[in-house]
Amino acid sequence: MKHFDVIVVGGGHAGTEAAHAAARMGASTALITLRGQDIGVMSCNPAIGGLGKGHLVREIDAMDGVMGRVADQAGIQFRLLNRRKGPAVQGPRAQADRNLYKKAMQLEISSQENLHLVIGEAVDLILECNAVQGVKLADGSEIRSKAVILTAGTFLRGVIHIGEEKRSGGRMGDNPSIQLAETLDRFDFSLQRLKTGTPPRLDGNTIDWRNLESQPGDEEPTMFSFLNTKPFAKQVSCGITHTNEQTHDIIRQNLNKSAMYGGRIDGIGPRYCPSIEDKVVRFSDKTSHQIFLEPEGLDVSTIYPNGISTSLPADVQADYVRSIRGLENAVITQLGYAIEYDYIDPRALSASLETVLVANLYFAGQINGTTGYEEAAAQGLVAGLNAALKTKNREQIHFSRAESYIGVMIDDLITKGVSEPYRMFTSRAEYRLSLRADNADQRLTEFGYNIGCVSNTRKSSFYRKMHDIDEVSKRLASLSLSPNEIGGFGIKVNHDGKRRNGFELLALPDVSFGSLEQIVPELTDVSKETKDQIARDSLYSNYLGRQAKDVQALKRDEAHQIPKDFNFAPIVGLSNELKSKLNQIRPETLGQAGRIDGMTPAAMTLILASLKKITASGGSND
């Protein structure tokens, strides 16, 4: 019988990232997937990154994960969103060539040491003493392991809807995982339904591009990976078109045929990614909606019309598509559909993504109620690292809200659960000004190196970068200029008698690195990257002090661990509602407890007092 340290079930974005992370940590890892050629498939739109999502990709890359590198390989149009706003809210995004993406991902997986691909369908878990010991495959064989990561995506009891037609499937053309879902039924996990949808795919050769607006990529493309500086593939533009009143009429007249509006779907869909039916109904006063025509690749003509996902029947899809400018003769190559699937209430997970109920079993990705490749991959990273650590009997790692978007997402999932497919937004990160895409490596690479998932190549490139930044920072910090001296260089400043260092100068309005070069001529030789990074770091320095205080308070609360068997019921003074929430969510720290909906400072104090009592007596609080 085969034996591995870690088994990863599923070869999607969560699975590949999880398997690669575990293997980087030195754990012998098996990646079980239905078909080897499906590794790296983008089931939905051919794009990576965006706001919040781009931050996640950068963080994955900072930990030496694969998504950023692969997306750079496959990127055919790079745009830094919010370029005109501050760096804290800029998100890198790229259109990806599906085939290049798959190819690059498959290469990463096959070339990674300790990582073995197993083709098959996992149908059951091997359990001993309430701990997972491996998986059973559909062919009856067994594979043993010390930890198992399930990344089943939308495959758990997946049902695809196109109009009144309904078939089971995990993705168009793939079978769902029914047996695995039934296996999970045996445990006490709370399984619920979510839905999502995709638009019809179009043949780009049948689109009339002449009258359509075109959206090129950035002139200076921003890469995902800190290791890359420029794109690998040829760069192309996207097209833009709009729906019109006629489109909306067609949709309105056929609403009853839509799977979502015909009452055939119970799952809850994402509000930020509504179907075109939803848009027409909920925003009936809008006469037009924007559609991005995204190329799926350089050597395929398929176009992904982003903005018109639907579960209407085939004939209606064709009708409304052809009512749109530029798409009058468009041929649909694959119908749009809605998909309903099971997810597991993520409040059943700990911060390492291990389930509380079954030891050594981890969940990552869409199975936890999230949406998006980036969210899935980030969870894969967390689960992969922790599963590998667990097999080595090392302590689990915890990503904090104060240090990463990954930490924000995991904490949201395990504390608040989800009510719709969870997507990352920058507004979810309360320390947004310090958690920037540009400083993901400064926040995480050293941490990654210390736990063992970052290669020496990345480490030395990171230390080189930090060395350059430190040198210049020291020079800037050592500056001390009076307002008069500053004024002498033509820089406007308050004559308040206060001497300023280089950083304080940079924080002044209208002062750029260029203005400093006349004061410190040797700064001229500093690389543009170093200058840009220091400028971004100093831009928010005024606000970071305040945030640092908040972070300290957060860390203080996070330091109060709540034992796994802690019983909230006997605490006098807590409302029953809070008690039941606490017993369900089982916060791991006082900080996490504080973020539970409805929590009050008084209740926090009661919990803390009770915690102190048991630490002092060394026993349980029953």
Partner 1 sequence: MSTIYALATARGKSGVAVIRVSGPDAFCELSKIVGALPKPRSSALRKVRNACGELIDFALVLTFEKGASFTGEDVVELHLHGGVATINAMLGVLSENKNLTLAQPGEFTRRALENGCLDLSQVEGLSDLIEAETEAQRKQAIKVFSGGLGDKANVWRKKLIRAMALVEATIDFADEDVPVDVTPEVTELINSVLPELQSELSGAKAAERIRDGFEVAIIGEPNVGKSTLLNCLAGRDAAITSEIAGTTRDIIEVRMDLSGIPVTFLDTAGLRATDDTVESLGVERAVSRAKNADLRVFLYIGEQNFTHISPRDDDIVLHAKADIFPNVVDGISGESQKGVSSLVQTITDTLETRVAGASSLIRARHQEALETAILMLNTALEHLCALDDKSEIVSEYLRIAVRALDSLVGRVDVEHILDEIFSSFCLGK
For partner 1, the binding residues (CB under 8 A) are 50-52, 81-82, 84-86, 88-89, 93, 270-274, 279, 282-283, 286, 289-292, 306-307, 309, 416, 425-428, 430, 432-433, 543, 546, 549, 552-553, 556, 560, 572-573, 597, 601-602, 605-606, 608-609, 612-613, 616-617
Beta bridge partners of 362: 149, 354
Alpha carbons 169 and 74: distance in angstroms, whole number? 27
Which H or E element spans position 20? helix 13-24
Alpha carbons 349 and 351: distance in angstroms, whole number? 7
Which H or E element spans position 366? none
Q: Which residues contact 257 (CB under 8 A, 6 or more apart)?
A: 163, 164, 312, 313, 316
Tell me how far the alpha carbon of residue 92 is from its chain's centroid. 13
Residue count (the chain): 622
For the stretch 123-130, contacts whose Cβ atoms lie closer than 8 Å and that sit 24 or more positions apart, written own/partner, are: 123/177, 123/179, 123/180, 123/183, 124/179, 124/180, 124/183, 125/183, 125/358, 125/361, 127/358, 130/357, 130/358, 130/359
Identify residue 13 by its one-letter amino acid code. Answer: H
Indicate the angle between helix axes 373-391 and 67-74, nearest 10 degrees. Answer: 140
Alpha carbons 245 and 247: distance in angstroms, whole number? 5
Alpha carbons 118 and 134: distance in angstroms, whole number? 13
